[in-house]
Amino acid sequence: ETSWEPPAPAPAPLEPGGSPAPAAADGVLPAGWEEPLVEAVKTWFMQSEMEALVHEAVAFADRYCDEFEPELQEHKLVYTQRHKEFRQLFEDKLKAFLATLGYTPEHFYIAFEKCVEKQDQGAMEMAGIMWCCLDYEFFCNIMCERKRDKLRA
């Protein structure tokens, strides 16, 4: 753990096209970098990637849902492993997007936390959707539902 604190919020410079300014070569972040970064991720997640992520989630569920056995009413180790793989799909996409902006996932988590603490409505909505998509219980329910749908077809 470190005592380092990001700079105080201020209007952040934007690159042409509305992207947040990346960290300088020396790693120093521009003042007010948090909100534009979270906004860029929100736009990417909600507008650009949502449909692709849904398609990937459905394909993942189709591939692995047969391993889930809701009638047992217990969770197998393989469920945790599949959930971890599923989360990794999303995290890899987020990491790649952040890299195009010159940021890391750690930058995003710091910025995201600050925006949620400020009760930023857009950040809170995105947090709710991301939490739901990445939550273990929700994941297991979706996998079981997908298995039932396959069996009915």
Give residue-wise pLDDT tens across range 91-118: 999 999 999 999 999 999 999 999 888 8
Spatial contact of 116 and 41, defined as CB atoms under 8 Å apart: no
Q: How confident is the model at residue 131 (pLDDT cuts 50, 70, 90)?
A: confident
Q: Which of 48, 84, 46, 82 is nearest to 64 (CA)?
A: 82
Average pLDDT over residues 64-93: 92
Q: Please, what is the average pLDDT of the chain?
A: 82
What's the pTM value of the predicted model, to 2 decimals?
Answer: 0.72
Q: Which of 37, 35, 44 is nearest to 8 (CA)?
A: 35
pLDDT value at residue 19: 58
